[in-house]
Amino acid sequence: MPITPAPRIAVVGAGPGGLTCARILQRHGIAVTVHDRDPGPDARDQGGTLDLHADNGQIALREAGLLDEFFRLARPEGQEMRQLDPSGTVLFHHVPGPDERFKPEIDRGRLRNLLLGSLQPGTVRWGHTLRRLEGPADGPRRLYFADGTTVDCDLVIGADGAWSAVRRALSGVMPRYTGVSFLEAWFHDVTTRHPGIAELVGQGSAAAADGERGLFAQRNAGDHVRVYVIQRAPAEWITAEGLDPEDTDAVRARLLERYRHWSPRMRELIADNDGPYLDRPLFALPADHTWEHSPSATLLGDAAHLMPPLGVGVNLAMLDACELGLALARHDTVGQAVRAYENTMRPRSTETARLLDGAAHDLVSAEVPDFAAGGPSS
C-alpha cells in the first residue's frame, strides 16, 4: 500500500534512472514529479546506444511494465562484438545467437522516449535547473531552481548524474578525473557514405587499443555509427596543446598524428567523421563514496556512484531506481523506505566501484580488455 499520508516526492533528472523511478512509483499509485534542466525532451542528443542486461536493467523494465515494449525496440544484433588490433586484425568476434537477449542494445533516445511515454502527462517539468537544496535532514526540503521557482517536498531523489546538485547537499565529495579521455565522433548513413566503417563495425561494436590510446566504434539505430577516441591524456588536453575544440580539422589532424602507427583502415574511424567531436573526459567518484542517511533525500545512479563507462552505469541506475520505487511502495514511511533502499544499494555499488576502480585505463590496454563484457556504452 502507498505511504499515508501521501508524501511529496520530487525526482531531479530525467535520465533513465529518474524516469524509471517515476514510472514504478506511478504504477504503485504514488504521485511524483520529475524536474530536468533541459528545456524539453528533444533539446539535445541523448548519446549512443546502451546494452541493458537481464540481471539489472531488464529487471527494472519488467517492474516498470515495459519489458515487452523494450524488446520490440531493442536491437539484439547489436550484441555482436569485435576486438581488433591497431592493424585491423580480428582478435575476437562474438556473433549473438538468434535467441540471445541477455544484453540487447537500444539507443538512449529510444529508451528515454519509451520511459517518457509511460508517465502520466505533466510528470516531467522541463527547464528546471536545480541551484540548491535546503531544509532539515528530516524534511521537508525546498528545491530552488534557476528560473526562480521553488518546490517543497518530503523526499528529493537525486538522479541528476555526475555533477549532481542534490549530492552537494548530502556529500562534499566531487568526481575525480580518471586520466582517460574520450572524444566522441559521429558517422551518418554509413552503409552508403562510409562503407568501410560499416563493414569494420558490423551490427554491434568494434574495439582496439595499443596501450596509450584506443578506439571504440558502436553501431546505432538509423544507420549511424558513433566512435569514441580513447586516450591517456590530461582532461584539458585539447586547449593545453593550443587547439580550439571547435576547430574539427585541427583536432582531427592531431589525432591522426597520434594514431599514425595504426592501419589506414582503422584510421578511417578518425579521418572522416560527420560534424565536430564531443569532448568527454572520464570522471569517477571514489569507490567508497557514501553520505549520512537522510530520510528526506537520497541518490541513485551516477549521482551516487559514478564509475568508468564499462557496461554498468545505466544498468545500475535503473536497478537503483527500481529498488527505491519498490521500497517506497512497500514501507510505511519514507524514512524506512530510503534506509532499506540504501542498505541494499550501497554495498552493491561499493563492490562494483571497487572492481572498476582504475579500470578506465583498461580501455587503452595493449592486452585489449574484455569489451565483450560490456564496453563503454552503458
Strands of the 205-209 sheet, one edge to the other: 90-94, 81-84, 205-209, 213-220, 224-232, 176-187, 278-284
User: Digits of tens for pLDDT over the chain (378 positions)?
Assistant: 667 678 999 999 999 999 999 999 999 999 999 999 998 888 777 678 899 999 999 999 999 999 999 999 999 999 999 999 999 999 999 999 888 889 999 999 999 999 999 999 999 999 999 999 999 999 999 999 999 999 999 999 999 999 999 999 999 899 999 999 999 999 999 999 999 999 999 999 999 999 999 999 999 999 999 999 999 999 999 999 999 999 999 999 999 999 999 999 999 999 889 989 999 999 999 999 999 999 999 999 999 999 998 878 999 999 999 999 999 999 999 999 999 999 999 999 999 999 999 888 888 887 755 544 445 555
Residue with cell 592501419: 263
Q: Answer whether 260's CB lies under 8 Å from 254's CB.
A: no
Is 150 part of any domain? yes
Is 377 part of any domain? no
Q: Domain range for residue 228?
A: 177-283
The residues facing 185 across adjacent strands are: 227
Q: Please indicate, yes or no, whether residues 309 and 163 belong to a single structural domain of this protein.
A: yes
Interatomic CA distance for residues 59 and 322, integer angstroms: 8
* Long-range contacts formed by 269-273: CB under 8 A, 24+ apart: 269/185, 269/197, 269/200, 269/215, 269/217, 269/227, 269/229, 270/185, 270/215, 270/227, 270/229, 272/187, 272/194, 273/185, 273/186, 273/187, 273/227, 273/248
DSSP notation for 221-285: TTTEEEEEEEEE--TTHHHHTT--TT-HHHHHHHHHHHTTTS-HHHHHHHHT-SS--EEEEEEE-
Q: Please indicate, yes or no, whether residues 27 and 153 belong to a single structural domain of this protein.
A: yes
Q: Please indicate, yes or no, whether residues 200 and 349 belong to a single structural domain of this protein.
A: no
Is 69 part of any domain? yes
Q: Please indicate, yes or no, whether residues 316 and 224 belong to a single structural domain of this protein.
A: no
Strand 9-12 to 155-158 pairing: parallel
Biggest CA–CA distance in the chain, Å, is 66
Q: Please indicate, yes or no, whether residues 32 and 162 belong to a single structural domain of this protein.
A: yes
The residues facing 225 across adjacent strands are: 187, 219
User: Of 161, 145, 151, which Cα lies nearest the Cα of 17?
Assistant: 161
Q: Please indicate, yes or no, whether residues 190 and 276 belong to a single structural domain of this protein.
A: yes
> Does the predicted TM-score (pTM) go above 0.75?
yes
Q: Which pLDDT belongs to residue 2? A: 65
The residues facing 125 across adjacent strands are: 35
Q: Answer whether 149's CB lies under 8 Å from 142's CB.
A: no
Is 41 part of any domain? yes
Q: Answer whether 125's CB lies under 8 Å from 36's CB.
A: yes
Q: Please indicate, yes or no, whether residues 201 and 298 belong to a single structural domain of this protein.
A: no
